[in-house]
Amino acid sequence: MILLIDSYDSFTNNLANLVKVNAQQEVITIHNDAFGPEEYEDFVDNYLPKFEYVVIGPGPGHPSIDKDVGIIGWLLRRFRDDRSLVPVPILGICLGFQSLCYEFGNEVSKLSQVKHGQIYKIHPIQCDLYPDVELLEANEEEKNPTNPTFDSVRYHSLFVQDINDQIVPLAYCYEPDTKILMAAKHKNLPFYGVQYHPESICSSQGDLLIRNFTQIATSFNEKFRQESLGLDVKVLENDHAVHEKYLIKDGLLEDRARAIYLNKFKIDVSPTDVCDYLYKKDGESNFILLNSASIPGEWSIVGLYIEDQTEVITHSTDEPSILNVSKYKSSLLINLEENIWNFISQKIKNEYISRESINSQLGPFHQRQLPFFGGYMGLISYEEGQHVLIEKMELLCNGNTPDLKLAFIERFIIHDHVTNDWFVISINKFDDGKWVEEFSEELKLVTKINIEDIPFTVAELSSENDKHLITFDFPSKDKYNEQFAKCQEYLHSGDSYELCLTTQLKITLPKYINAWDIYKVLTLRKNPSPFSCFMEFDDCVLISSSPERFLSWKDDENGNKIVELRPIKGTVKNTPDVSVEDATKILKTPKEMGENLMIVDLIRHDLYQFTEKVEVSQLMAVEEYKTVFQLVSVIKGKLDKVGYHGIDLLHSSLPPGSMTGAPKKRSVQLLQDIESLQTNGNVGGRRGIYSGVVGYWSITDDADWSVIIRSVFRYVEDKTCGDSTNTWGIGAGGAITVLSEAESEWEEMYLKLSSALQAFQ
């Protein structure tokens, strides 16, 4: 058994999987603060000796700062100062490597040129850690072709400088005017370390490194530690090891027999046409629209409310222990002291129906598997994710801010964009066969919206007398430069690899301009997006045109649950004078590729919590859309660990890594302080709906969630609303790395806000 000590890094699970596969042993992961100082001696006496070896993982911070490294520094000093204590072999990665060198008397300094997410040639020295150097392929372009190299990814802003005689160098990386230590060992103790990240998707020879170190540790243990190994003991108490909890309590979903009413037909209209018909018929938006109008989205879903029946859940981080449950258009409101994630998981468990049951009831009704058979539709804010310090935020609304809004939908419409088939479906517990037939016939009356009736801008929805009520509050450039400088400070100090700095544009509009008219302007006068949506709840509104899938999960043809994430980092405007080749040259640069790589590695880490089968099926490919070219990666996994479900992954991986940076925990908390500096921002750095996720979770345990970007939103009780105006928000941001420049980042962010603003002016 191997112990991995994690310093709250966002790549730790990648490393754990690399070690487990190549050492062929179980890996137990603990945080560096899992044991308090008063427990350190007990840890060394009773727990540590049972492990074959220890891996000290990467993480933010400096090895001289106790809160950054926890038990790590003390442990190394313990072995350093008491040579009568039989050491346990240790392999340090990045911060672990720096800690090893630091505790044995070597200075750890800031790099003059920080390297985050960049691939470099590693020059190993033949030794027990690299016994197979001669087997590594030599690169004839290197200055010294007789010294073979391999590629690996560097994520570090600190480096070990001028090593003393306690540390033996094992590998270097060469830069134009210097060389950087990339691997080393202690001259006597079985302590080794590497500065680079062998677990990165773009690193080579990581497997070989772990196999070689495992052999080193095995040889040492056979000679010095046989008596302490292999005992049948409980190694760590549950409150020390890092565990993920099942949200669906017993890990099983049992089929629930229920009637499904379905009608399939064709009509030559769009989902927007259908919703416009419903809006005009009832004079309000009694629907939720998920309108995937372009690739990779292939389906549109219209969820229909049922008066006094549809259950709507509201949760606010302002009052995290309380969950509000109501019925659509009903005065009934129940406040529950219950965990929101447990509540919705139990609901899906209680309502679950398998695809086999659906097929046996309905037969072969369609050549493609429908994505949704009722369940939750809604949004989850950025603050519902992990690591946000809620106590720093002030109230945004006159009352609690709605951070999670989910409606349990039992009547709905689905449009297959590939086959152009339409479906009206009900899982209503009451006999809904007649409703399905009658509503299907009614939809055949829907006609196409006359595009000439749609204004080119939202401003045209206002009367001439009220044009002055339309205002735009941009973020301050001076404050942005201050924020950028703060980001660079943290990136150079080793606290983060990447910080996704966001800002918000505040818009005021006359109250009588309704959300559905805004949606039509944004979607019919603009280009379709893969994951657009319209949601108008009683306390918040979201109009999204997101291009980025955050997370989906569904069954494959063999019944395996497959999860997929599609992070986007890197965007170039698609204009007539920009070809795919031109866009590729712009996007395939160290800065853009480094941003994307960091998020890919972060997502792999999130997935490895729940599966050992993670595949990067597309790595930093340039995809062309009508308005932009984007650098997109695709990461997939099969949920093969017994008992885990997609909801466990959703819960543990929020907020989206593409909107935070890495390592996630430290980055989220740094960004909260940095973003609160903006004068037009939300007090306490609250992002709200922006940067959260929107989508559905079907009772078949299939789901699709997109990142809320390129969206406009508002809160009904926003404190900044006027007597005759509503306040809307548009968020925009970009990944700040050490290769970023303040002016270009400001221009990119401002361009994103200005592009969205064109629809309002």
What amino acid positions are annotated as catalytic residues? 94, 197, 199
Beta carbons within 10 angstroms of residue 227's beta carbon? 9
CA pair distance 626, 294, nearest whole angstrom:
10
SS3 317: coil
CA pair distance 386, 567, nearest whole angstrom:
19
Beta strands 191-194; 90-93: pairing state: parallel
Are 91 and 55 in contact by the 8 Å Cβ rule? The answer is yes
Contacts of 227 (CB under 8 A, 6+ apart): none
Contacts of 169 (CB under 8 A, 6+ apart): 125, 163, 181, 183, 184
CA pair distance 126, 151, nearest whole angstrom:
16
Beta strands 53-56; 2-6: pairing state: parallel
Would you list the DSSP string of 489-549? HHHHHTS-SEEEEEEEEEEEEETTS-HHHHHHHHHHSS---TEEEEEE-SSEEEEEEE--E
Alpha-carbon torsion (569, 575, 580, 582), positive or negative:
negative
Q: Among 20, 1, 193, 8, which Cα is nearest to 608's?
A: 20
CA pair distance 237, 240, nearest whole angstrom:
6
CA pair distance 156, 176, nearest whole angstrom:
18
Read off the DSSP letter of residue 394.
P
CA pair distance 656, 689, nearest whole angstrom:
12
Are 473 and 506 in contact by the 8 Å Cβ rule? The answer is yes
CA pair distance 282, 759, nearest whole angstrom:
26
CA pair distance 175, 170, nearest whole angstrom:
17
Radius of gyration of the chain (CA): 28
What angle (nearest 5°) sits at the alpha carbon of residue 337, between those of residues 332 and 343? Answer: 80
Q: Among 374, 414, 371, 377, which Cα is nearest to 259's?
A: 374
Q: Give me 523's structure tokens.
A: 């979607």
Q: Among 283, 282, 302, which Cα is nearest to 292's?
A: 302
Contacts of 690 (CB under 8 A, 6+ apart): 382, 502, 504, 708, 709, 711, 713, 729, 730, 731
Q: Give me 17's structure tokens.
A: 């999987």
Read off the DSSP letter of residue 582.
H
Are 132 and 54 in contact by the 8 Å Cβ rule? The answer is no
Strand order in the sheet with 167-175: 27-31, 2-6, 53-56, 90-93, 191-194, 178-186, 167-175, 107-124, 150-161
Q: Give me 10's structure tokens.
A: 């966002």
Beta bridge mates, 635: 565, 616
Distance of CA 245 to the CA centre of its chain: 19
SS3 62: coil
655: cis peptide before it, omega within 30°? yes
SS3 465: helix
CA pair distance 618, 266, nearest whole angstrom:
35
SS3 617: strand
Please measure the distance between the N-terminal and C-terminal CA atoms of the chain and give it in whole angstroms: 63
